[in-house]
Amino acid sequence: MGSAKLGHPQADEAVIPVPPQLSAAVGRRRATSRQELEETAFALFAARGFEATTVDEIAAAAGIGRRTFFRYFPSKNDIPWGAFELELDRMRARLRACPPEVAVMDAIREALVDFNRVEPTMVALHRRRMELILRVPALFAHSTLRFTAWREVIAEFVAARTGQRAGQLAPQAIAHAVLGVSVAAYEHWLDDPVADLGELLDTAMRQLADAFGAPPGRRPGRRP
Amino acid sequence: MGSAKLGHPQADEAVIPVPPQLSAAVGRRRATSRQELEETAFALFAARGFEATTVDEIAAAAGIGRRTFFRYFPSKNDIPWGAFELELDRMRARLRACPPEVAVMDAIREALVDFNRVEPTMVALHRRRMELILRVPALFAHSTLRFTAWREVIAEFVAARTGQRAGQLAPQAIAHAVLGVSVAAYEHWLDDPVADLGELLDTAMRQLADAFGAPPGRRPGRRP
DNA sequence: GCCTTTGTGGCACCCAGTGCCAGGATCGAC
DNA sequence: GTCGATCCTGGCACTGGGTGCCACAAAGGC
């Protein structure tokens, strides 16, 4: 997947460690699930903070061995990411589904808003998830690898639309910029308990489109 | 420094651990220096690879204790970064020195090219340094924190020029985009043993300016 | 009941990073 | 020269993430 340039192969492999008991009903049954473990861990993170929670504690709280934890998550840092690879596929599909008449930045904006739509019941969880990823330094650092994969999805779409390769500068620049405003919108969302994520992303992307449409020196990113 | 939003305070503090023997000539003398340690470590990295080199080995090769190593570098990951904080100051100063007549993106491009100028004798070292930072996954992840600080320099400049705050979307987007093309240009540079970094950055930034000046759907990032 | 498959988890180990603290080296003061 | 202040060194012990190995437990098929 993606250009060989920015891709860190380890990142992709580390994501889904050993998808235990994929479909075969033979053999010993799993003692728990990724999701269950995630919930247990999130509860501990909320109580003690991410750094102060050890893997031993998570495993103990989930009633499994420490060794087994690492069969569900390749690292403690991966806990908040859920099924991110699948999300990437969703985003890719959503972009592909955009009719060619829609301009590139519009298509990205629509896909982005769609992609980040969360059920009302899941909003609290998503907030905690993103709070961890974006505010815990170790997790933010770890996120680089995921973000690279995410940007590659954008870059590939832009490349396909503009007849370039994903590794070229314009696709890369746009992908980086889109990631940037997304992160900025998320930060804003985390700061404001009643903000609507979709709206923030929509506004943010419109401002980015403006920035791409006119030099920011003359029009400071405002929507006309 | 910078907006409270994207800044991870730990990043800044961790950078210069205990600047040993800053100027006072009293007390026991240092056994080595950051730079000497860096050279020793780079030699080992070249021979065995980054991940396969342990801190113990670096310390042993440098003739110091492992404990002492951590007084020169807060972590193994920080070795390739040299005196990055000072570099940031240099970049800031370089941007400030740009006359207001020069357009924002032009100013950033010029500063960027200047900032990344390396003496011919230092090119090989800089290559090894950036190869580590950009290609070793653990280091690339670690770099997030430094990149955030770096982007903030750009964002603040754009903000000052356009009458916004650095945390707003346009400055953040531009900063992300500039980082993106910089990384892309560096990747290109690392791939091509005879490429000129300054030229690559210049071209890349011109293409970015084009992308900002016209929707990439109609003009695919080419220079007119 | 056996065999195969699959998940579990204990054990031992590696490595990064830290707090503590007993030194060693160098100064200026006396 | 000796003393004390100052600063650097590095050993020791410890925490915590992550891994290889392997014995074992639980399930299904036959």
pLDDT, position A205: 87
Nearest by CB to residue B169, choosing from A168, A191, A221, is A221
Is there a single domain that holds both residue B61 and residue B88? no
pLDDT, position B180: 87
Say whether pLDDT at A89 is over 80. Answer: yes
A221 occurs within a structural domain: no
Q: Which of B73, B99, B118 is the last residue of a domain?
A: B73
Range of the domain at B97: 80-213
Is there a single domain that holds both residue A101 and residue A194? yes
Counting the structural domains of chain B, the total is: 2
Instruction: Report the range of poorest mean pLDDT among A11-25, A59-73, B6-20.
Output: B6-20
Q: The CATH number of the domain where A103 resides is what?
A: 1.10.357.10
Three-class secondary structure of residue A5 per DSSP: coil
What's the pLDDT tens digit per position in A21-78? Answer: 544 578 899 999 999 999 999 999 999 999 999 999 999 999 999 999 999 999 999 9
Is there a single domain that holds both residue A47 and residue A93? no
Q: The CATH number of the domain where B40 resides is what?
A: 1.10.10.60
pLDDT, position B82: 86
Is there a single domain that holds both residue B63 and residue B146? no
Residue B67 contacts strand C, CB under 7 A:
yes
B3 occurs within a structural domain: no
Say whether pLDDT at A215 is over 50. Answer: no
Q: How far is the CA of B19 from the C1' of D7 (A)?
A: 12
Mean pLDDT, residues B72-100 taken together: 93
A216 pLDDT tier (thresholds 50, 70, 90): very low
B115 occurs within a structural domain: yes
CA atoms within 13 A on the CB side of B80: 25
pLDDT, position A91: 95
Is there a single domain that holds both residue A123 and residue A61? no
pLDDT, position A72: 97
The C-alpha of A26 sits at a distance from chain B's nearest C-alpha, in angstroms, of 37
Q: Which of B55, B73, B91 is the last residue of a domain?
A: B73
Instruction: Report the range of poorest mean pLDDT among A187-196, B18-27, B134-143.
Output: B18-27
Q: Which of A33, A50, A73 is the last residue of a domain?
A: A73
The C-alpha of A126 sits at a distance from chain B's nearest C-alpha, in angstroms, of 19
B85 occurs within a structural domain: yes
DSSP states along A170-208: HHHHHHHHHHHHHHHHHHHHHH-TT--HHHHHHHHHHHH
Mean pLDDT over each residue of chain A, to the nearest integer: 85
Give just the sign of the alpha carbon dihedral B192, B194, B198, B203: negative
Is there a single domain that holds both residue B175 and residue B123? yes
What's the pLDDT tens digit per position in B181-200? Answer: 899 899 989 999 999 999 99
CB B15 within 8 Å of CB B83: no
Query: What share of chain A has pLDDT > 90, as a percent?
Result: 66
Nearest by CB to residue B162, choosing from A181, A204, A220, is A220
Instruction: Report the range of poorest mean pLDDT among A181-185, B125-129, B217-221.
Output: B217-221
Instruction: Report the range of poorest mean pLDDT among A147-151, B52-56, B128-132, B165-169.
Output: B165-169
B220 occurs within a structural domain: no
A150 pLDDT tier (thresholds 50, 70, 90): very high
B192 occurs within a structural domain: yes
Query: What share of chain A has pLDDT > 70, as a percent?
Result: 83
**Residue entry with tokens 């356009």:** B162
B32 pLDDT tier (thresholds 50, 70, 90): very high
DSSP states along A21-76: S-S---SSPPSS-HHHHHHHHHHHHHHH-STT--HHHHHHHHTS-HHHHHHH-SSG
Is there a single domain that holds both residue A69 and residue A159? no
Is there a single domain that holds both residue A152 and residue A136? yes
Mean pLDDT, residues A87-113 taken together: 93
Distance CA A174, CA A164 (A): 13
Q: How far is the CA of A22 from the C1' of D23 (A)?
A: 24
CB B140 within 8 Å of CB A146: no
Is there a single domain that holds both residue A39 and residue A115? no
Q: How far is the CA of B84 from the C1' of D8 (A)?
A: 24
B222 occurs within a structural domain: no
pLDDT, position A107: 93
Is there a single domain that holds both residue A67 and residue A88? no
Residue closest to sugar C1' of C9 by CA: A65
Is there a single domain that holds both residue A25 and residue A53? yes
Mean pLDDT, residues B79-104 taken together: 92
pLDDT, position B212: 66
pLDDT, position A6: 39
- Distances from the Cα of B203 to the Cαs of A124, B107, B120, in angstroms? 45, 14, 20
Say whether pLDDT at B17 is over 80. Answer: no
Mean pLDDT, residues A7-16 taken together: 40
A9 occurs within a structural domain: no
Say whether pLDDT at A200 is over 80. Answer: yes
Is there a single domain that holds both residue A136 and residue A169? yes
pLDDT, position A146: 93
